[in-house]
Amino acid sequence: MAGNAFVRCRVSSETKALLQSIAAHERVTESSVVRQLLDTLARTVETESPIRKPDDAGLRAERLSIRLAPDDRLLLSERASARGMPSATYVAVLVRSHLHRLTPLPVAELDALKPSIAELGAVGRNLNQIARALNAGGRSVATVKWV
């Protein structure tokens, strides 16, 4: 089955060697082995843990009531409000994340994280440019003697 999209990742040298060994044993390419693994994983996720489709995103399941100690209720309210969420929504996100082994990240925190990641990328590019210039025989600001 030919695909039209690419998936890239870095793996340890041990994982790469294992992948090469499996591919040689099966007499297929490494890409074919990775594709088979991803297809198997996708089928497993579909059968064991169905992911919500966009069309039923607005549906709610039945209501669940819990009792909390006053101190726990106060902590819950503080944490939920710090994330800009109602307490019940915050609990629902935590429970769903736990059941589906997902890492919860509220939209506000994700929006705050994205610019930081972009800045780190820019810093990384600048470091690469400096390293490239130094390797090409350029001068670093650190090597210049100021009078």
Give the C-alpha separation, 9 to 38, whole Å. 13
Stretch 127-141: mean pLDDT: 79
Instruction: Provide the token pair at 145.
Output: 């003697």
Give the C-alpha separation, 124 to 92, whole Å. 38
Residue 25 has pLDDT above 60, yes or no: yes
pLDDT of 3 = 67
CB 32 within 8 A of CB 23: yes
Domain spans of the chain?
11-49, 66-104, 108-140
For residue 141, the surrounding DSSP H or E stretch is: none
- Minimum mean pLDDT range among 6-10, 31-35, 51-55: 51-55
Please state the three-class secondary structure of 75-131 as a single string.
HHHHHHHHCCCCHHHHHHHHHHHHHHCCCCCCHHHHHHHHHHHHHHHHHHHHHHHHH
Residue 136 has pLDDT above 90, yes or no: no
pLDDT of 95 = 87
pLDDT of 72 = 93
Which one-letter amino acid corresponds to residue 8?
Answer: R
pLDDT of 2 = 59
- Residue-wise pLDDT for 73-95, tens only, equals 999 999 988 888 889 888 888 88
Give the C-alpha separation, 120 to 115, whole Å. 9
pLDDT grade, residue 104 (50/70/90)? low
Within a 10 A sphere around the Cβ of 90, how many other Cβ atoms? 20
pLDDT, greater one: 14 or 103: 14
Stretch 94-120: mean pLDDT: 81
User: Residue 52 has what DSSP assignment?
Assistant: P
- Residue-wise pLDDT for 110-131, tens only, equals 788 888 888 999 898 988 888 8
